[in-house]
Homo-oligomer: A and B are copies of this chain.
């Protein structure tokens, strides 16, 4: 592969002129600039980002760590972040934590090691996991998306999870449901607790006591959603509706329901958080609370860019408003 030195020799200029030309510096005469660009394309020269990164102490790499790419929420997030990164001249180093905080820590170290300018992280853990300050190591900028922990000291971009759950449960309540099963996420995660809190708020407002046996806990993955759905179905007094905390567990619940011959929404109403491309194509089309993923991805990215631009202000937190998308998976209890 040709190096800058080769280009300089070929163009009959100094190595500085080549570097300056490639970086778009104004201090190069039009003539030399032309000679350089010509040599560059003739030699098929491509700048070595590794050397550049070493010298500059930072690279054009951006870390992106999600817990599970196969979850459509994260998939879409990856898509949007990738898109913004490309537009801005960054590349994305992708990490998958698989919901494991140790793996996540490894990945963060990796991003630092590759001199990533910043990293967008969907944290897998809860407050205690981050108490050791692992998120603020080194000088790599970090933005937390989706999940967070209070007092983390990191910029965050989240859904307003309380409102989201409240929206879903209130919808069910309005349809006349009183016994609403819950498939919640992992207890240690702030996002799970917030969603549970939103559900409690809706119940409290309706004057309904929360029956603990109606609350099951999964890990945001399909299999446990399936198990939770089954557990709810085998209750002595099963619910008439189920609120599911995320998309993947929703699919699991739908499978459990189908296997048990429970019809939706006739026998059971179902509402979850997270919209996804297949939700409207289901029979019945699924009623969900949608997260504005594109806007959230953009906000996270913009914040990161601000930080990279030198912003050293205190950590900010942005909450995004969820939206109830009514389709056909929830029916009023009389119509069951």
Q: Known pairs A61-B114, A94-B94. 18 more at Cβ < 8 A?
A: A1-B112, A49-B115, A50-B59, A51-B54, A61-B93, A64-B94, A69-B75, A69-B79, A70-B72, A70-B79, A82-B96, A92-B94, A222-B277, A278-B278, A278-B282, A281-B282, A282-B283, A283-B283
Q: Which residue of B lies closest to A108 (CB)?
A: B46
Neighbouring B residues of A283 by C-beta, 8 Å? 258, 282-284
Q: Bound state CA distance, A55 and B154, in angstroms?
A: 34
Q: When the two chains form their complex, are residues B113 and A47 in contact, meaning their CB atoms are under 8 A apart?
A: yes
The answer to whether the Cβ of A9 comes within 8 Å of any Cβ in the partner chain is: no
The answer to whether the Cβ of A44 comes within 8 Å of any Cβ in the partner chain is: yes
Contact of A254 among B91, B114, B281 (CB under 8 A): B281
Q: Bound state CA distance, A289 and B102, in angstroms?
A: 37
Contact of A46 among B91, B112, B251 (CB under 8 A): B112
Q: When the two chains form their complex, are residues A115 and B48 in contact, meaning their CB atoms are under 8 A apart?
A: yes
A-B contact pairs, 12 of them (CB 8 A): A1-B139, A46-B109, A49-B114, A50-B113, A61-B93, A69-B78, A69-B79, A82-B94, A93-B93, A93-B94, A281-B282, A282-B282
The answer to whether the Cβ of A5 comes within 8 Å of any Cβ in the partner chain is: no
CB within 8 Å of B: which of A10-42? Answer: none
Q: Bound state CA distance, A277 and B70, in angstroms?
A: 9
Known: A69-B69, A277-B251. A93 touches B92 (CB 8 A): yes
Neighbouring B residues of A64 by C-beta, 8 Å? 94
CB within 8 Å of B: which of A75-121? Answer: 75-76, 78-79, 82-83, 86, 91-96, 109-110, 112-115
Neighbouring B residues of A72 by C-beta, 8 Å? 70
Neighbouring B residues of A238 by C-beta, 8 Å? none
Neighbouring B residues of A187 by C-beta, 8 Å? none
Q: When the two chains form their complex, are residues B50 and A114 in contact, meaning their CB atoms are under 8 A apart?
A: yes
Q: Which residue of B lies closest to A95 (CB)?
A: B91
What is the distance, in angstroms, from A270's C-beta to the closest C-beta of chain B? 12
Q: Which residue of B lies closest to A53 (CB)?
A: B50
Q: Bound state CA distance, A259 and B113, in angstroms?
A: 52
What is the distance, in angstroms, from A248's C-beta to the closest C-beta of chain B? 8
Contact of A75 among B75, B92, B254 (CB under 8 A): B75
The answer to whether the Cβ of A138 comes within 8 Å of any Cβ in the partner chain is: yes
Q: Bound state CA distance, A69 and B278, in angstroms?
A: 15
Neighbouring B residues of A251 by C-beta, 8 Å? 277-278, 281
Pick from A59, A86, A281 the residue with the most CB of B within 10 Å. Answer: A281
